[in-house]
């Protein structure tokens, strides 16, 4: 079983260069809605509902193993946003013990700079893949879950920016900042959401604040403006600010405050692994107990937060969730609107309501 880090949408193909047999990769069932199903099935991709357990996926994994194929799973659950590995999905160790096959952890280094999650275009740069066998099949039966998880985590941790400091490999592109606003959606200077826009190697805000990305992928901040040691620190800061604003809004005087909104979204709907179907267009609004899409006074669709699951960002910016056994997508009107902020807002709101005993 291959358990690689996930920094680039082409990671499955990069990791599969070495194995002598085709790897059966587990991937979001969203790919089957946006890509040719015949192609994905032909190369043995196993669909999984993102953000929740899926017994059908486990059965498909067992079938592939029985046929003698290696299998691959990204234990972060999604491509990371800032080049630093995320926490493992809690069920990873359970799956390893269930399948009882050797575990190899490939670490992709430099792949983030080749094509970050928030970018549309590839960049030419150096990519390395380091393979490490961490667990043998005959060990698994006697291992506790905590030991399985520890073994994987020891090898799994990776920070692309730390690696780049030692290699200083040039990124051959003049679009190194394009679409950075999808992950860095809150300006450190004016602290407004949605006012950052990118072009070429520059990310700038309407307030005048700007950041440039040098040929090695590092950020250069204005001398008199806010700065961060790493892009990850920026992400942590902005997500905390977003959480605090949601908390303040809930504690304010408004009885039903709008916690987040964006105009011009298309609401799409799909069943498992089927193509998305257009529902309606309008403003998307997040409230304390629901998401609404549409225009007040006109056609409006409401989703109770308690009945929503599997909240995630699909690809660069499409915000998705499950409701009544169907998959819904909020499709932004252009490539500058962040779906990631919707994911963080919904997850942060849920955590807050759980803390208060209101969920």
- Summarize pLDDT for 268-312 with one digit per residue, the tens: 999 866 789 999 999 999 999 999 999 888 899 999 999 999 999
Q: How many CA atoms lie within 13 A of 44 on its CB side?
A: 20
Strand segments, DSSP code E, in the chain are 24-28, 46-48, 71-72, 103-109, 128-135, 196-199, 202-205, 210-213, 219-220, 260-270, 277-286, 290-294, 300-304, 308-314, 318-323, 326-331
Report domain extents, the chain.
11-167, 180-237, 258-355
What end-to-end distance do the CA atoms of the chain give, in Å?
37
Handedness of CA 339, 345, 346, 351 (dihedral sign): positive
Sheet holding 46-48, edge to edge: 46-48, 24-28, 71-72
- Which of 24-38, 91-105, 277-291 has the least mean pLDDT? 24-38
Average pLDDT over residues 45-51: 72
Give CA–CA dist 320/144, Å, rounded: 35
Query: How many angstroms separate the CA atoms of 243 and 162, rounded?
Result: 28
pLDDT tens string 189-231:
999 999 999 999 999 999 999 999 999 999 999 998 999 999 9
Mean pLDDT of the 141-147 span: 93
> Which pair of tokens denotes residue 57?
């996926």
Phi, psi of 243, deg, nearest 5: -60, -45
| For the chain, percent of residues with pLDDT exceeding 90 | 81
The whole-number pLDDT of residue 30 equals: 65
Q: Is the pLDDT of residue 20 over 70?
A: yes
pLDDT-based confidence at 27, cuts 50/70/90? confident
Position 41 pLDDT exceeds 70: no
pTM of the predicted model as reported, rounded to 2 decimal places:
0.90
**Domain 258-355 falls under CATH 2.30.29.30:** yes
pLDDT, tens digit (0-9, with 9 covering 90-100), for 123-142: 999 999 999 999 999 999 89
């Amino acid at each position: 079983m291959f358990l690689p880090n996930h920094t680039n949408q082409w990671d499955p193909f990069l990791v599969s260069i070495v194995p002598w047999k085709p790897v059966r990769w587990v991937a979001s069932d969203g790919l089957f809605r946006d890509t040719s199903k015949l192609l994905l099935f032909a190369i043995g991709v196993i669909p999984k509902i993102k953000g929740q357990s899926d017994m059908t996926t486990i059965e498909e994994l067992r079938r592939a193993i029985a046929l003698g194929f290696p299998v691959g799973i990204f234990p972060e659950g999604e491509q990371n946003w800032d080049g630093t590995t995320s926490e493992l999905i809690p069920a990873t160790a359970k799956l390893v013990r269930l399948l009882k096959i050797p575990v190899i952890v490939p670490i992709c280094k430099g792949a983030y700079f080749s094509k970050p999650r928030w970018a549309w275009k590839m960049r030419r740069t150096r990519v390395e893949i380091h393979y490490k066998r961490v667990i043998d099949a005959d060990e698994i039966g006697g291992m506790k879950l905590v030991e399985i998880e520890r073994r994987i985590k020891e090898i799994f941790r990776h920070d692309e920016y730390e690696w780049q400091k030692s290699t200083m490999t040039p990124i051959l592109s003049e679009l190194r900042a394009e679409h950075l606003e999808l992950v860095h959606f809150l300006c450190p200077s004016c602290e407004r959401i949605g006012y950052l826009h990118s072009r070429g190697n520059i990310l700038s805000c309407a307030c005048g604040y700007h950041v440039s990305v040098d040929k090695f992928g590092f950020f250069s901040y204005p001398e008199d403006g806010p700065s961060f040691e790493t892009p990850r620190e920026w992400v942590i800061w902005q997500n905390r600010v977003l959480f605090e604003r949601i908390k303040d809004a809930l504690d304010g005087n408004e009885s039903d405050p709008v916690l987040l909104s964006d105009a011009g979204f298309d609401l799409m709907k799909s069943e498992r692994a089927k193509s998305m179907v257009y529902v309606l267009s309008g403003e998307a609004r997040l409230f304390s107990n629901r998401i609404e899409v549409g225009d007040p006074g006109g056609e409006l669709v409401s989703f109770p937060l308690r009945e929503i699951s599997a909240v995630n960002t699909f690809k660069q910016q499409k915000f998705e969730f499950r409701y009544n056994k169907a998959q819904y997508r909020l499709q932004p009107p252009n490539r500058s609107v962040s779906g990631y902020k919707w994911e963080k807002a919904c997850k942060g709101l849920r955590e807050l309501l759980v803390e208060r005993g209101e969920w």
